[in-house]
Structure 1
Amino acid sequence: MRKIGDKLACREIVMQPAVNSSFDVAIWFLDRARSENSYLQPRKLQFLLFFAQGHYAGAYQGRRLMPSVFVVDEAGPLDPNLYRAFEQGRPNVSEVSMDEEILVFLDAIWRRYRDDEPMKLDRLISRYGKNDVAIENRDGSEVGISSMMHMFARDDDKKNKQPKMLRTYTGKAVKAIPWRPPKSITTTSNE
């Protein structure tokens, strides 16, 4: 990884994607929204695809969920090929079943972000990618999978982080957790 100013520029990690086609993931999100009687806006679909790719890369050491390339413009991230393909609605493509592990993963992404508006999702991406050149510039530049991995790995690692184990002076193992003082109860006296 090299730096351009104070921004990160990462080398790409090459691995086989978990899903053969990005269409399968996009169609899964559209079908999931329809099953809950909600309309999935085209831009929100792009945000969900970006979050799915990023969280997957963060959780699986840079492995791609799908063979998509994301660019970031003034409206946020998008896979330009999928965006064009879905401009007029859902394309007529055959559906391919995905592994149960992938379906569980996509369901977790859906549940986490389904109620968020695109503007909120855009703010999240700006916060996650504050050191990424493409996200900062929003000029249609590509966000590489390495950058996505670094953006989302921090978030995924925090959830799985175990408390640090230390030893007392007697050698007993204890968990080190931050001290939180008890909430004090203030009373007023009538003097």
Structure 2
Amino acid sequence: MAHPPLTDSAFDAAFWLLDRALDDNEYLNPRKLHRLLYLAQAYFAVANAGHWLMPATFVADPDGPLEPTLFRAFAYSRPRVDVQPIPEAGRTLLDSVWRRFGAHSTDHLTKALKRHPPYADARAAGPRAIILVEAMVAFYGRAPRPREGIGALTDSGAPHIEQVLRPRVMRSQSGKPVNVHQWRPRPVKDR
């Protein structure tokens, strides 16, 4: 990890998601929180050349992807922790992850993520093996670009980054709203 994570702590992202759920009058259970944080770490790394959203290590727990430090801290209630504001890029990603995956049930997220190679490979290596961010980028970054419709989080695949990140809405020279995405060059294929 050559660059520092975007946030100071995984608590910053966890509290952001918990507060967002409360704003939407929803209860975010601990298992679902961990699944969303895992997806946020994965998609942030895909969108930002492998850079981490938060200094968090996810492990392949029998129940699904889990960040053990947060798991212990939230064991009995919401811990009293000073959180720092999250930079715009992090807020945009977390908002996109919430909008894209927040409506899914905890069971759906868990079943799909447990079959994805980053988790499955780590789980095969042994109990509570670390899920490498590089493995997340390799899997979640290879989703095909959408031709139409929306990509689904399934046992065998995940949506393309452009289907997860919410586009910014800007105005064209004529004043019409247009969606814009950060430019990401396509990977170069070996010849």
Q: TM-score scaled by structure 2?
A: 0.71
Tell me, what secondary structure is at the counterpart of 2:81? coil
Structure-2 separation of matches of 1:135 and 1:95: 31
* Residue in structure 2 matching 1:59, options 47, 56, 59: 47
Asked if 1:23 corresponds to 2:33, the answer is no
The residue identity in structure 2 corresponding to 1:37 is N
The Cα shift of 1:134 comes to 0.8
Count of residues paired in the alignment: 149
CA contact (8 A) 1:74 1:138 kept: no
Residue 48 of structure 1 aligns with which residue? 36
Residue 128 of structure 1 aligns with which residue? 116
Tell me, what secondary structure is at the counterpart of 2:69? helix
The residue identity in structure 1 corresponding to 2:47 is A
* Residue in structure 1 matching 2:63, options 64, 70, 75: 75
CA contact (8 A) 1:129 1:135 kept: no
* Residue in structure 2 matching 1:90, options 78, 86, 89: 78
Give the root-mean-square deviation of aligned CA atoms: 2.2
* Residue in structure 2 matching 1:37, options 19, 25, 40: 25
CA contact (8 A) 1:128 1:152 kept: no
Percent identity, please: 35
The residue identity in structure 1 corresponding to 2:70 is L
The residue identity in structure 1 corresponding to 2:106 is P
Unpaired segments ≥5 residues, structure 1: 1-12, 162-191
* Residue in structure 2 matching 1:116, options 104, 124, 128: 104
The Cα shift of 1:29 comes to 0.5
Structure-1 separation of matches of 2:53 and 2:35: 14
Structure-2 separation of matches of 1:156 and 1:97: 33
What is the CA deviation profile of residues 108-136 of structure 1, one whole-angstrom value per residue up to 9, with x for unaligned ones? 00001111112211232134327852144
What is the CA deviation profile of residues 22-69 of structure 1, one whole-angstrom value per residue up to 9, with x for unaligned ones? 100000010011111111110100001100001111111211100000
Residue 154 of structure 1 aligns with which residue? 142
Shifted more, 120-129 versus 89-98: the winner is 120-129
CA contact (8 A) 1:21 1:67 kept: yes
Tell me, what secondary structure is at the counterpart of 2:143? helix
The residue identity in structure 2 corresponding to 1:103 is R
Structure-1 separation of matches of 2:10 and 2:69: 10
Structure-2 separation of matches of 1:120 and 1:30: 19
Question: Greater strand percent: which structure?
Answer: 1
Of structures 1 and 2, the one with the larger relative CO (CA 8 A, separation 6+) is 1
Tell me, what secondary structure is at the counterpart of 1:39? coil
Greater radius of gyration (CA): 1
CA contact (8 A) 1:129 1:136 kept: no
